[in-house]
Structure 1
Amino acid sequence: MGKTIIEIKVEDKREHIIKLLAYATSLKRVDHAYDTYLQSPNSKLYAFVEDSVIEGCIGINLTDSNKVEIKHIAVSPTQRGKGIGTNLIMYVIKKHAISKLYAETDTDAVNFYKNNGFTITSLGEKYPGVERFYCLLKSEGKY
């Protein structure tokens, strides 16, 4: 069947997406995050599907006409390092014709963003013992 990216709009993919989103947020917050994507007109959730299996997802918030916030991005642990996250980012940029994409992350994911061309700025210890980072990609012509 190959590889494709689809927008998640209905409940039938819930258990697969919830499992992936749990890698990007806490188990306490994952149901609320999923419901937000389905209910908010400014929130979109896309899934990377390979041979009918959902291998990754990206959740975004459309903040204005040319700027998008990545709220969540997750790839199945067995599929990491294969470009799925990068493909999801490129898809969002093209689909929404945006020039700026940004995210806030921790030390676990900061290198992923850096390797994808994002400019990284430390936000310091935003929570006790947890350094956070602001990641910004200006996509003009990049993808």
Structure 2
Amino acid sequence: MEEQVSLTAVGWARSLPTSSGVKAARDWTREHLRSLHWYTTAPDVVDAVLLTVSELVTNAHVHAGDDAQLILTWDHECLHVTVHDPDPDLPEPREPSDSALGGRGLMLVDAVADDWQVRPCSKGKDVIACFQPPAAHSAR
């Protein structure tokens, strides 16, 4: 007989109209990371999460031209940062030119997140990045 394991998770969600700006997304995320006590236990991970939130919300606002939904889910192993937008076109990393102001967002996410992926859904797409704090510093 297989043992069933119960998963405990906590999550937060917020709608981000294009008028709210990316700062609102970072500030909201920062408050939830404080509740996980990561500022003292995993400050580098906090910086990586905030950078990722900035990039993903900016991409949703610029490329989808619409509101975005930001969802944070902590399952005691990974903080999943999900940004949903209604545009069905999936993002693809690209080689930015030296003179381009943009085009580096997904490269940054790839560099700082433990993992990331894009999932199409019936009303747009989700871009999800996973962050694992160092094992010795996991939030309880």
Greater share of residues in strand: 1
The answer to whether TM tops 0.5 is no
Q: Report which structure shows greater RCO (CA 8 Å, sep ≥6).
A: 2
Greater share of residues in helix: 2
TM range (shorter): 0.3 to 0.5
TM-score w.r.t. the length of structure 2 is: 0.33
* Greater radius of gyration (CA): 2
